[in-house]
Amino acid sequence: MSDVLKRAQDNYQRDKDHWEEIYRKARDDMYFISDNEDAQWNADDRKLRANRPCLTIDQLGQFIHQVANTIRMNTPTINIIPEADADVETADMIKGWIKHVEYKSNADEAYDTASLSSVRCSIGFIFIDHGYVSNDSFNQELTIKRCVNALQVWLDCDSIEADGSDARRATKIQPMSAQEFKRRYPGKKVCSFGEDTKGSYKDDDSVNVAEYYEIIDEVKEVGLTDTGDMEEVVQDVEYSSTRKLKKSKVMRYILSGEEVLAQSTFPGKYIPIIPVYGEEAWIDGKRQLYSLIRKSKDAQRMYNYWKSLETELLMKQPNAPIMAGAGQVDEYKEDWLNPQKSMVLRYNTHDADGNPMPAPQRLDPPTIPTGIVNAARSTVDDIKATMGIYNASLGEASNETSGIAISRRKEEGDVATYHFGDNLKRSIAQVGKVLVCARGEVLDTPRVIAVRGVEDEPKMVGINGAMVEGQKRSYDFGKGDYGIMVTTGASSLTKRQEAADFFGEVVKSQPELMNVMGDLLFKNMDISGGQEMAERMKKVIDPKFLDENKDQEFDPEKEQMKMVIQQGEQLLADMQAQMAELEMQLKNKDGEIQVKVMAEENNASNDQAKIQLEIMKLEQEQEKLRIEAEKAKEEREFKMAALGMKQRELDLKAEDMRIRAEEERENMLLDREHKESDISDS
């Protein structure tokens, strides 16, 4: 057995012993919320109830999906922060590259699976892998993969960080059939990792293959030369100072039970297996993990018991017991066992001694005690209380009446489960660190890569010296240090939908604003032809409302101003060239005086051109201020007109009320005169 295999098996057994209790409880949680009929019942309780109802009415699934789907709605975004020897533009390109890696790898599925697993059973994992872009290329790429069975992954038991960034080893078990093992590793002996070696395996037998990662440190001594350069220490050479330099290398092994099947290195310095923990606690220096439902299982069992008992009593009500004398219905036993089949129920009117007997009587059915119904209801509240999730968080009606109170109660529920989403955020930050750390080895040649913008629009850029058409500069992905910051919020699609809804409401209340922001409304609408309509709206909108930093329609005045400025700049360039030529002529003593005179004239002309250029810039600023003043004036006039219309409406309403009051007063006078006339007549 090789040293690598022995070390891997020893570390695997040590890590497995450390995580065994956590994984056992996690497995119990997953089984508890499964659809197995015995999942939420103790075996002894089910045996005691025999043939009586044992119902399972799951209440926990809705809470799991409430928390997990809330996390999904707030998509984490990896942001790149430039640090030493780094620039902002390259940081934006690295961020766009990471977004493309996430898009191509379907990383949302990996994040969602890991977060759901942490909510359901307290732990999940995210994998990062690398490989070639295609079969006919030597270019490599990084991918993000999901973990469908978190309980087959064992992380370094000495790791204490919440994102697993300090882990120095990890083991991932991949079960496969013996036939698949032979296909993948021809010529290798079929043997399962972590188990006693069998003599032989059938094709259908399951074999465990381990993917083992470990960090190996390579230490070398480096010295500082007199020139300030750092190099590896050479014997018999004096250095101003020396130090030990440690470089980490991540090794990746594929192992069976008896040999190393394959080995390679993973780029960077981190183990590419990132844990996503649920609720974390440390007791006596040992990590404890809790799922969302861990402390609610007893309340769920009680709810199932009370509902089963309630159902049992309800089932007995239609079949109320009948009281009859001994032997009174024995001759007609079949009819009385199934009275629905018989139109007439017969019985003996006398007992065996000939004495008369009363007719059999149906007794009152058993009633359901109110305590059972109330206990079931209170058990539901116990389930919610153990999680901190209340009716408002589930969208149900509660005792709150005001919108503020409902919002506050919903926020309490969100805060009670916030740690699940926050732990995913930390893990995704570690995903960003792994990708950024590995970029220098994966993207180490001049090449063109795909990146994604703010709204996930794809584009191609050249890196490490490569360029694409229209690109101003190349971005060096191998230089500079970059930090990671993860933010959460709605996805770009949701933001566009919110923007479209907002602009739609504004235009609905003030239709005249369609001529001001109609292009923004159509731009954010996910409908066929929306972008084309946005471009058409730009043509009818006043240019002063359009963003000057974006594409605009042709403006003759602005284009003329740009031409004047360009001509002025060209004039300056020509004068500078003439000055350079005159300086060359100074070497000729005969033309020294003439050159000086011409140089002074050129300096004067140069100063005059600069003054003209400054004047044009001031005129442009003045024109901009005039346009803004006109815009403010138009807005003020629009508001004054609106106020005038409102005042006229109020005046009309007041006049109408005055006329109605006069009419009512006249009617009252007429009525009084009629009544007085009637009284006098009578």
Q: pLDDT for 115-151, tens place per residue?
A: 999 999 999 999 999 988 888 888 889 999 999 999 9
pLDDT at 513 over 90: no
Which whole number is the average pLDDT over 341-355? 75
Among 254-268, 330-344, 440-454, 580-594, name the one with the lowest average pLDDT: 580-594
Lowest mean pLDDT among 37-46, 86-95, 166-175, 365-374: 365-374
Q: Rounded mean pLDDT of 331-342?
A: 72
Question: Which has the minimum average pLDDT: 208-212, 352-356, 584-588?
Answer: 584-588
Mean pLDDT rounded to a whole number for the chain: 82
Q: Is the pLDDT of residue 55 over 70?
A: yes
Residues 583 and 592: their CA atoms lie apart, in Å, by 10
User: What is the rounded average pLDDT of the residues 326-353?
Assistant: 74
Q: How many Cβ atoms sit within 10 Å of the Cβ of residue 484?
A: 20
Using the predicted structure, report yes or no on whether residue 112 has a pLDDT greater than 60. yes
Owner of token pair 């913008």: 453
Does residue 591 carry a pLDDT above 70?
no
Burial zone of 356 (CB within 10 Å; 0-12 exposed, 13-18 middle, 19+ buried) = exposed
Looking at residue 26, its pLDDT comes to 96
Q: In whole angstroms, what is the distance from residue 174 CA to residue 205 CA?
A: 14
Residues 454-490: tens digit of each pLDDT: 777 889 999 988 999 888 888 988 888 898 988 876 5
Least confident of 240-254, 441-455, 592-606: 592-606
345 or 468: which leads in pLDDT: 468
Residue 412 pLDDT greater than 80, yes or no = no
pLDDT digits (tens, 9 = 90+) for 355-378: 888 887 776 766 777 888 888 888
Which has the closest alpha carbon to 37: 285, 308, 245, 231? 308
CB-CB neighbours of 39 under 10 Å? 14
In this predicted model, which residue has the larger pLDDT, 481 or 590?
481
Residue with tokens 């508001």: 639
Whole-number pLDDT of residue 566: 63
Q: What is the value of pTM for the model shown?
A: 0.67
Please, where are the H alpha helices in 443-473?
A: none
Residue 225 confidence (pLDDT): 83
Mean pLDDT to the nearest integer, 533-547: 74
**For range 227-256, the mean pLDDT:** 85
Q: With 50 as the cut, is the pLDDT of residue 552 above it?
A: no
State the Cα–Cα distance between residues 405 and 389, nearest whole angstrom. 15
CA distances from 623 to 26, 372, 561, 563, 627 (A): 70, 81, 11, 16, 6
- pLDDT for position 553: 44
Average pLDDT for residues 256-282, to the nearest whole number?
Answer: 94
pLDDT digits (tens, 9 = 90+) for 653-666: 888 888 888 888 88
- pLDDT confidence bin for 274, thresholds 50/70/90: very high
- Return the higher-pLDDT residue of 574 and 35: 35
Output the 3-class SS for 127-143.
EEEEEECCCCCCCEEEE
Which residue pairs from 89-93 have beta carbons closer than 8 angstroms and sit at least 24 positions apart in sequence? 89/473, 89/475, 90/475, 90/476, 90/477, 90/480, 91/482, 93/451, 93/461, 93/463, 93/475, 93/477
Residue 203 has pLDDT above 70, yes or no: yes
Phi, psi of 337 (to 5 degrees): -70, -30
DSSP element (H, E) containing 573: helix 556-585
Higher pLDDT among residues 651 and 259, named by residue: 259
| Domains of the chain, residue spans | 11-167+273-315+372-486, 170-270, 492-545, 556-681
- Pick the closest to residue 119 from 279, 288, 300 (CA basis): 279
- 100-109, 348-357, 378-387, 438-447: range with lowest mean pLDDT: 348-357
- How far is residue 144 from each of residues 435, 656, 667, measured CA to CA in Å? 10, 72, 85
pLDDT at 141: 92
Burial (Cβ within 10 Å: 0-12, 13-18, ≥19) of residue 505: exposed
Confidence of residue 220 (pLDDT cuts 50, 70, 90): confident
Q: What pLDDT shows up at residue 101?
A: 94
**Residue-level pLDDT at 550:** 45
Q: How sure is the predictor about 554, in pLDDT bands with cuts at 50, 70 and 90?
A: very low
Mean pLDDT value of segment 270-289:
94
List, for residues 153-191, the tens digit of each pLDDT value.
999 999 999 999 999 999 999 999 999 999 999 989 999
